[in-house]
Amino acid sequence: MTDPLFENVYKQALPFWKDLSEDDRDFICRHSVARSCPAGAHLHDGSECSGVFFIRSGSLRVYMMSEAGKDITLYRLYPGDICMLSASCVIQAITFDVFIDAEEDSEYFVIGAPAFAALSEREPKVRIFALETTVSRFSDVMWVMQQILFMSMDKRLAIFLADECARTGSDTLRMTHGQIARYMGSAREVVSRMLKYFSNEGIVEASRKGVRILDKKRLRDLTL
């Protein structure tokens, strides 16, 4: 019998679920495991094929890394999101590696890569879903690239602060300058300098513990 823990979640979240045979549903549930991890845990290191991640709670950060250990955030995964790049062996056309860490204490399901690959081989709808999920991440990455390559630092930082405040529903970001820099793919000094500039302008109040937004309107103007 299909495990109701996975079944109940997948039937809501996976658009192809209703088109699968009873056997295939059972197959996927049998090859699923529920995991949890503390904030900061490394979940995927690029070279392995860890399986398809299905995020249940918390958040994961997907990033690329240079040989020198410098990293840049590509996108984040939140509850309900599915990660195909952790199972790049499922999709031949993916020839690059990413890294995935937990940003918060997180819970997630993992569907084993060979099981998912086998199903996507025989079910075009599953394969299309996997590919479309990947292509929409391509869109995210192109956006990041645009930010990094073309936008001035003040605009990038303003967008980051505005997005984080919108996401958390708070005016205060409890992050160090170093953390902000890592998220933005920048250097701590650059972020500190720009935050000092924003402070001087009365847009934010920056301390070692975090950043508080004082003037939302001007911050928003900077993002345009």
> Under the rule (CB under 8 A), what is the footprint of a second copy?
64, 66-68, 70, 72, 91-96, 124-125, 127-128, 131-139, 141-143, 145-146, 148-152, 185
**In 10 A of CB 110, how many CB atoms?**
21
Give me Rg for the CA atoms of the chain.
20
> Residues near 145 by Cβ (< 8 Å), separated by ≥ 6?
none
Three-point CA angle 134, 139, 142, nearest 5°: 125
Nearest-approach distance from CB 136 to a second copy, in angstroms: 4
Cβ distance to a second copy smaller for residue 33 or 135: 135
61 contact partners, CB below 8 Å, separation of at least 6: 73, 76, 77, 100, 101, 102, 103, 183
Nearer to a second copy, 43 or 85 (CB): 85
Closest to a second copy by CB, 152 vs 207, is 152
Q: Would you say 69 or 169 has its CB closer to a second copy? A: 69
Whether residue 61 contacts residue 44, with contact meaning beta carbons closer than 8 Å, is answered with no
Nearest-5° Cα angle at 113, 110 to 115: 100
* Per-residue CA distances from 152 to 4, 72, 92, 205 (Å): 50, 17, 36, 21
Select 22 or 150, whichever has its Cβ closest to a second copy. Answer: 150
Smallest separation (angstroms) from a second copy to the CB of 71: 9
